[in-house]
Chain A
């Protein structure tokens, strides 16, 4: 039972490089999202998707792109990495949006350092 799988777990990038963080879930969840977690800030929403083909911006979308071509996958692309994007990134998925008892399942996180 894999749940939400993120790769890679660790990554070091040079300023200006691009990369894609992968996220896959095998729970047939419609709703997926990306968060970044910085010390003292809590998790902040980057982008989210309510189903295949549908994405929307969250609180801190600048510098990131997403796409949702399948229900299972929701990759996050860093277009031109900057030191301010050094963070821990979490992908999350959930079955329902409106149930007040909905649980969000998180991947194990990607620790990204931009030098």
Chain B
């Protein structure tokens, strides 16, 4: 079983509509959660961190559900430029006295979003 799982999509979204998708993670010890965006044939870039209480960044809203071990991303008023693959990233903080937890970013395979005119 993959540690981080995402629906690969594609999610075809009319411009101006809302789209939401989830990411599930298997390790209950996971501490940090992020959404990265990856454009076709480009490098991933941080979209937003996911806070325990949920957070918004403009048209983007991220939620964390620790009990069910998933995070979600909602995009409102979709723009053509939102077309991309969204990667769910989870990290573990195994021991605050060590420095090896950063090396263990776990990536989902990504959810593709296609916004159409």
User: Which chain A residues lie closer than 8 Å to B43 at the CB level?
Assistant: 90, 106-109
| Complex interface: chain A residues within 8 A of B96 (CB) | 98
Contact present for B99 and A50 (CB under 8 Å)? yes
Query: Bound complex: CA of A43 vs CA of B44, how far in Å?
Result: 10
**In the complex where A40-B8, A43-B87, A48-B103 touch, is A106 in contact with B109 (Cβ < 8 A)?**
no
Knowing A100-B31, A101-B49, A103-B46, the reply to whether A42 touches B103 (Cβ < 8 A) is no
Q: A90: which of B44, B91, B93 is its contact (CB, 8 Å)?
A: B44
For the complex, count residues of B whose C-beta is within 8 A of A: 28
Q: Contact check, A50 vs B100: say whether CB atoms are below 8 A apart.
A: yes
A40 to chain B, nearest CB (A): 5
Q: Which residues of A contact B102 (CB under 8 A)?
A: 31, 48, 50, 94, 96-98, 102
Q: Does A33 contact B (CB under 8 A)?
A: yes
B-contact 0/1 string along A66-98, CB 8 Å cutoff: 000000000000000000000000100010111
A-B interface contact total, Cβ < 8 Å: 71
The reply to whether A100 and B49 contact each other, CB–CB distance below 8 Å, is yes
Which residue in B31, B32, B45 is a CB contact (below 8 Å) of A106?
A: B45
A104 to B34, CA, bound (A): 10
Q: Which residues of B contact A96 (CB under 8 A)?
A: 102
Size class of the A contact interface (CB-based, 8 Å): 20 to 34
**B105: contacting residue among A45, A56, A98, CB under 8 A:** A45
Bound complex: CA A50 to CA B101 (Å): 10
Enumerate 22 A-B pairs (CB-CB under 8 Å) in ascending A order.
A31-B99, A31-B102, A40-B8, A40-B109, A42-B108, A42-B109, A45-B104, A50-B100, A50-B103, A56-B100, A58-B103, A90-B43, A94-B102, A97-B99, A98-B102, A100-B49, A102-B32, A104-B105, A106-B44, A108-B42, A109-B42, A109-B43
B residues near A (Cβ < 8 Å) are 2, 4, 8, 31-32, 41-46, 49, 87, 89, 91, 93, 96, 99-105, 107-110
